[in-house]
Structure formats: structure tokens, C-alpha cells
Amino acid sequence: MSRQLFGTDGVRGRAGDFLTAELALALARATVELSCQGHPQVLIVRDTRESGEMLESAIAAGVTSAGGDVLLGGVLPTPAAPLLLRRHGLQLAVVISASHNPYWDNGIKFFAGDGFKLSDETELAIESRMRVACGPSQRIGRVRTLHGALEDYLRELHRRFVDLDLSGRRILLDCANGATHRAAPEIFRRLGAEVDVIADQPDGRNINDGVGSTHIEPLRELMARGEHDAGFAFDGDGDRVLAVDRRGDLVDGDELIAIAAKHLHDCGLLGGGVAVTVMTNFGFHTAMSEAGIEVATTAVGDRYVFEELRSRGWRLGGEQSGHIIDLGFGPSGDGIASALLTMEALEGRELTDRHGMVKLPQKLVNIRADSRELLSAAMATDAVSEAISAAGDSLAGRGRVLVRASGTEPLIRVMVEAPSSEETERVCAVLAATVQSALS
């Protein structure tokens, strides 16, 4: 049986339409009944979307109706949730966020008591549980505020990077009008940096709206003035980050992971190798080979990177999108911690002199489908399969092709890497046209 609600990063969809208060309540109740014993303590945090308060109330009702007690952490970055779970000895955390999606979407994801996201098997069991009629509640839980939650998160960041001195460094942060708008500027200032911030005035609807890691242009334009040493753009829930150097050039997740991997390797702290996804640039693999660092490749999704790291006992991994996981700090991708790790790895050098890797030209096109059913049907057509095969054969040994369905949105992602920009554009255009035709 396949999952119907859960995608690669929880349950996500349009708030009030797909993701209703009724669904949120049922989902929370089923999760507590299935995965928690006794009277569990459950943390709820959210990003800045206007639907967050509605869903927070519904989830709290679902938890308390199943006998759990709720601790409201308020607006916090997603990675704060697993850290607070461990710090306070809680049994479950619920994060309300749709990450980089627009404000009208929202999502729900769960972290177990060990700080890691729920397994595919557990999510499937939760969906099955939701189809069973609920019995009467044996105990009604309580709801209270977790005071000092933001300070607890900042304290964890400061403890990890206490030796990082950013005095004399001028940093520009794009907080995407999201969950990092208080935490990110504060920790950089505590470490001595002079900090300027954009997109730190959330109003419930401006999260990710032309800003943040999925809209990097405003940060690039400001950085190109040469007034800042480094710029970092977070997504709406703060679990990913991209960087920009003082010339205005983008430094993506692949490059940031390469910088961190070499740093941790040189310090004897890497733990063996690094885990990345099939989207990772071919140039990353070349750079790691030259540095003597083993690379493991997973499916797209930070949960799969986590699983690979845990199974191998490694520390570092992530995605091109800026999800960077450092298990030496916490069990979740953390944009703020990743930005600080980048500054630590640079050891006072400029981001323009990073020398982490040489990227192959890459083109990524997202093609939207009207439904997931149409998306699946298009991916199964002979025309799409043959086009993928032909493109792959033409780039064998020189580049690569990846066409896949998104796990979080009704999109088909077409990615091509080739030795030249011209060839990359040409091959990608052919593939995208074929996919578009299959969807018509």
C-alpha cells in the first residue's frame, strides 16, 4: 500500500483546501495514538504563514484528544524542533510549515523523540490509523506555552560555534520573511558580526515572496555592491540556505557542502565520507575524489540523506537546494548552522576564494502538471523514456540527465549537466519540450 497523504517531507498542500483543520486534527491524533505511549509531551512550532495559527490549534486539539500534552514553541525554524525535543526530553515534535512554498500552502511534519523524522513505514501506519474510527478519550491533555524556546535554540547554536569569531565581518542575511527572522540575525551578532538583514518583516503572506533561497536575486543584487563579506538566504522554515559572495555570485548547496566536507575532513571530524543526492553536480564528485573523500548518493529528499548518514555513521550530507545536514550538531538540516559552518570553514578567507569545487553547467526546468495522476502518466510514456535515454547516451562520460517527479509539488523536474552551457541548454530544451507534450 502506498502513502496517500505523506510526501517526501510530511503532508503538504493548500491550507484550508487540502490541508484543513479537520485533517490536521485527525493526523495529529492518529500520530500520537500510534507512536507515543502514556501521556506524551508534544512540541508544536510553526513558520510565519497566516494559516499557521489555525493548524496549530487543530493539531493541539488532536494531540490533547489523544491524551498528549502540548508545548507551543511559536515561530521557530524547523531545525529548532529536534534540538528542543532532545533538550527537554519530549516524545514528539510537530512542525507546521510548507518550507519554500508560497504562503497559501502549508504542511505538517513530525519528529520522533530521537530527533529524526518518522520513517516511511510509520507514516504509512499513521495513514492506516486515520481510517479507523476513534474511540472515546481516556484522558484529555493540556496546552501550555514553552517559554524561552527561541533562546534555547540560540543557546544550542552558540554552544556549537562558541569559538567562531566573526568580529570585523559584515554579513547580509535574507530571512525570507520566515521562521529565521529573529534567530539568524541574533546569533550572527552574538558571534561578533556586523549584520544587515532583508525580508525580516513577516506579515503572514509575504513568506518566500520574491525573497529567500528560492528567489536569490535581491540578495545577489545587494551583495554585488561589494559592501558585505558574505550573504546568506534562508527558506521559509529555515532548514536550507544558499550563499552569495561579495561579487554577487551564487554559492549553492553543492559548493557549501564541498567547503564544509573539506574543512571537517582536514580537522579529522568528517567521519568517513559525505552523502548527497542524485541532483548533486558532477563537479562535486570530482572535487571529493581529489580530496580523498568518499561519496554516497541517495534519492532526492533530506530524509534519505539522513538514512544514509545514519547507516554509515557519517556526519555530513545534503542537497544542492541548500539542505545541509551536520549530525555533529543536530538531526535536521539547519540553514543557520550551515551558514555558520561555512564561515567556520573559511577560517577568515573570502567566500570568493572558496575553491570547493568546479561545477559543470547545469540547467533545471520545473514543469507543472494539473494533477499527480497526469504527472505519473507523463513519466510513464514511451516518448519521455526514449528522450531521457537518448539524452543520457549523448552525454555518457561527459555529463548527465535526470528527469523526476517532485515529491512535494505536482512538478516534473528536468535537469541536465553538460560540458558547455550551450549543450546544456539544448539538451534540456528538447527534454522539457517532450515532457510538456506528454502532459498536454
Percent of the chain with pLDDT over 90: 78
Q: Above 80 in pLDDT, residue 356?
A: no
- pLDDT (tens digit per residue) in 131-172: 886 767 778 999 999 999 999 999 999 999 999 999 999 999
> Considering the chain, what is the average pLDDT of its residues?
93
> Does the predicted model carry a pTM greater than 0.85?
yes
The catalytic residue among 65, 97, 99, 321 is 99
Kindly state the average pLDDT of the residues 100-123. 92
Output the nine-digit C-alpha cell for 287: 572535487
Strand order in the sheet with 170-174: 194-198, 170-174, 230-234, 241-244, 250-251
Ordered by where they begin, the domains of the chain are 6-147 (3.40.120.10), 152-353 (3.40.120.10), 362-439 (3.30.310.50)
Kindly state the average pLDDT of the residues 249-257. 95
Query: Could you tell me which of 365, 363, 78 has the C-alpha nearest to residue 241?
Result: 78
Question: How sure is the predictor about 1, in pLDDT bands with cuts at 50, 70 and 90?
Answer: very low
Question: How sure is the predictor about 279, in pLDDT bands with cuts at 50, 70 and 90?
Answer: confident
Q: Above 50 in pLDDT, residue 11?
A: yes
CA 410 – CA 432 distance, rounded (Å): 15
- pLDDT (tens digit per residue) in 34-79: 888 888 999 999 999 999 999 999 999 999 999 999 999 999 999 9
Question: Known catalytic residue: 289?
Answer: no
